[in-house]
């Protein structure tokens, strides 16, 4: 195990082997005042990511950086175990291409699972494209997202779908990250402006630069835009919206699974979800490329990196 120490916190890493970029990202996180008091633990398969190190887990209290969860809010895997012991792979392949859009493509008509979620409840509703979001339920996306058929050691057949919140997650994360930075910047500017006006009214113009430096020491260091954090009302709104987007991501995977199971006339004997990019709002733990593994909890970890 390795430990990285920063100005406000330290992170324990459950490996001795870590690349320089990931190490720098973790150090930067621990140098931020928002990390103070958080328990930060990094998984053994740690690697650098966009905005946050993949494999990060940390407790959350009253501040959160949207970029730490990232744009694919609620990304995870839907797994079903089948009664069948054999799957016609070519038929499955044709069905996927016919029924499940991938890449930037969306559906022509909404999947019926759209009825299970109300996007108008999002605080950031006016900053999203609701029509595109509705037509995205039941679509795979791109990147490392996949649909696969698997066979267990006992011969059991499985279907696994890896996908997330599509462009809705991008829109939500982008809005809250930019709004967090704007509010933090405006707060600092307003304090500085008020101080300057006060000193001028008292005839102390010559002290302005000195007093501004003192103010900066009190308010703390400048926050990098990509690590600007939500607090107060914005924190509550982000957590609220993130829960809805996580539900959206789960429905998206289940809608794709519905198309496959019905189209292939398969019989499901077991089904479970594994989320690896989210905030657990029951325990207030952020997991980025990590999963909950409570005693007795079933989860899936994709480890084939070919």
**Residue 40 counted as domain residue:** yes
- How far apart CA 276 and CA 133 sit, in angstroms, is 21
**Residue 256 counted as domain residue:** no
**Residue 44 counted as domain residue:** yes
**Residue 301 counted as domain residue:** no
**Residue 21 counted as domain residue:** yes
Count of structural domains within the chain: 1
CB 165 within 8 A of CB 72: yes
**Residue 14 counted as domain residue:** yes
Q: What is the pTM of this model?
A: 0.88
Closest CA to 103 of 8, 184, 167, 41: 167
CB proximity list for 66: less than 8 A, separation 6 or greater: 173, 176, 177, 180, 230, 238
**Residue 249 counted as domain residue:** no
Q: Which domain holds residue 31?
A: 2-59
The answer for 231, left when phi > 0, alpha when psi is -120 to 50, beta otherwise, is beta
CB 274 within 8 A of CB 80: no
Residue 218: predicted pLDDT: 44
**Residue 55 counted as domain residue:** yes
Residue 190: predicted pLDDT: 60
pLDDT means over runs of 10, the chain (306 residues):
96 95 96 95 93 93 95 97 96 98 98 98 98 98 95 95 98 97 75 67 76 54 86 96 98 98 98 96 95 91 70
- How far apart CA 171 and CA 169 sit, in angstroms, is 5
């Amino acid at each position: 195990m390795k430990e990285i120490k920063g100005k406000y916190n330290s992170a324990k890493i459950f490996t001795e082997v870590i690349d320089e970029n990931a190490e720098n990202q973790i150090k930067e996180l621990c140098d931020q005042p928002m990390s103070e008091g958080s328990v930060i633990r990094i998984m053994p398969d740690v690697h650098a990511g966009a905005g946050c190190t993949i494999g990060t887990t940390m407790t959350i209290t009253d501040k959160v950086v949207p970029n730490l969860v990232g744009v694919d809010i609620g990304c995870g895997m839907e797994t079903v175990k089948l009664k069948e012991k054999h799957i016609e792979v070519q038929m499955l392949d044709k069905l996927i291409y016919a029924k499940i859009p991938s890449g930037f493509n969306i559906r022509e008509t909404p999947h019926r699972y759209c009825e299970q979620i109300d996007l108008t409840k999002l605080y950031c509703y006016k900053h999203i494209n609701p029509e595109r979001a509705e037509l995205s339920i039941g679509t795979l996306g791109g990147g490392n997202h996949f649909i696969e058929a698997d066979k267990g050691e006992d011969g059991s057949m499985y279907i696994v779908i890896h996908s997330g919140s599509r462009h809705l997650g991008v829109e939500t994360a982008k809005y809250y990250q930019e709004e967090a930075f704007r509010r933090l910047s405006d707060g600092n500017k307003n304090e500085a402006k008020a101080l300057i006006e006060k000193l001028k009214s008292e005839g102390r113009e010559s002290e302005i630069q000195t007093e501004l430096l003192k103010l900066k020491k009190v308010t703390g260091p400048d926050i990098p835009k990509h690590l600007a954090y939500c607090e107060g009302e914005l924190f509550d709104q982000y957590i609220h919206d993130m829960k809805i987007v996580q539900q959206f991501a789960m429905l998206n995977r289940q809608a794709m699974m519905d198309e496959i199971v019905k189209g292939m006339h398969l019989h499901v004997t077991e089904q479970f979800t594994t989320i690896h990019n989210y905030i657990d709002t029951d325990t207030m733990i952020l997991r980025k490329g990590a999963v909950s593994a409570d005693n007795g909890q079933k989860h899936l970890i994709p480890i084939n990196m070919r």
